[in-house]
Structure 1
């Protein structure tokens, strides 16, 4: 296999990044692998859960970027990597890891990935999903209550004190590094087709 290419999908929290990546992956599962930057939040065994819940996970310092970059380089070298697995309920990494095999296309899912020069330098293509913040907040409240054990009050408090300030400080400015800006995921299949045309040669057309 030739050197895999990396596509970064960035944007605000709950903008639809994961949904878009999963939709693209479903169309070509044999030729794509997914790396989720959320899995690279630091190990926090030494911190009690009640303190973990108050940390700022929207700041770049919350993620072990050096390990993520190491794994991206290994995937580009056609090596298998063992990605961490992160639990948003425990606010900590799990003991188990996730095996990621190199594929022609590596889809990197991460709201802060375009804000990090050492990460975006590895991208062949970058996409920013520019969903309005009110829609993102509504989605985040529903998601975090349903899957992350949060209350609506906790989600709103985190959003006002951490998520929104970090969006304006780190995520929104990173939009200028994107090759393609998608206003929302309303036309997800059309964007998938556009990407497929760009990626001809990396995806088997037969």
Structure 2
């Protein structure tokens, strides 16, 4: 008796505002028999100050990803073809790497990501609040974004241009997933 093939676990990473949640949702619709998990849906124990964490060397294992990994384990037991995870760490967390088959990085320029974040997170905010956010980004927040570009991007299997239209990004990732699946099964 042949056992079922476990689901292919694909993580989608990008800087904040880089499109990981949007692309994960889009791919979930495109890939039949798939489930998606979203990093922001969890309340993880981890560093309280991200910039301090980056300055101390960004040890990804400081994050307790147990809630997410428990959900991945549950989904791996289901008759699925794909598990998509909006997840910013690629292969950098030692407990998560055992679950990941393919890590995708959406390479979105910092200016576009910042514009998206302001549009998404501050559309009803005062100009003072927007200005303060931009000042914080310039003063120290940018280091967090650069950490991802310098560490997560080179640690990913697939890198996709984040300036492309969403359907095009999703289609490129879809094609690469299919190619990977064909060559690894």
Aligned to 2:176: 195
- Higher percent of residues as helix: 2
- Distance in 1, matches of 2:149 and 2:94, equals 13
Aligned to 1:72: 72
Aligned to 2:22: 19
Residue 129 (structure 1) aligned with residue 106 (structure 2): yes
- Distance in 2, matches of 1:162 and 1:109, equals 25
After superposition, the Cα gap between the structure-2 partners of 1:156 and 1:62, relative to the gap in structure 1 and judged at 3 Å, is farther
How many aligned residue pairs are there?
166
Instruction: Please give the TM-score of this superposition, normalised by the length of structure 1.
Output: 0.66
Q: What do the CA deviations read for 1:113-161 (whole angstroms, capped 9, x no partner)?
A: 4432322331111100111111111111111114899931343245345
Deviation at 1:64, TM superposition (A): 3.7
Matched ranges for 1:22-33 at <5 A = 22-28=25-31, 30-33=32-35
Deviation at 1:198, TM superposition (A): 2.4
After superposition, the Cα gap between the structure-2 partners of 1:18 and 1:185, relative to the gap in structure 1 and judged at 3 Å, is farther
Structure 2 gap segments, 5+ residues each: 54-59
- Distance in 2, matches of 1:65 and 1:189, equals 26
Aligned to 1:36: 38
Residue 3 (structure 1) aligned with residue 6 (structure 2): yes
Structure 1 gap segments, 5+ residues each: 44-54, 79-101, 202-206
- Distance in 2, matches of 1:126 and 1:142, equals 27
After superposition, the Cα gap between the structure-2 partners of 1:112 and 1:56, relative to the gap in structure 1 and judged at 3 Å, is farther
- Higher percent of residues as strand: 1
Match of 1:165 among 143, 167, 179: 143
Instruction: Please give the TM-score of this superposition, normalised by the length of structure 2.
Output: 0.72
Q: Which moved more, 1:144-153 or 1:133-142?
A: 144-153
Q: What do the CA deviations read for 1:137-192 (whole angstroms, capped 9, x no partner)?
A: 11111111148999313432453455422223355312222111112151325404
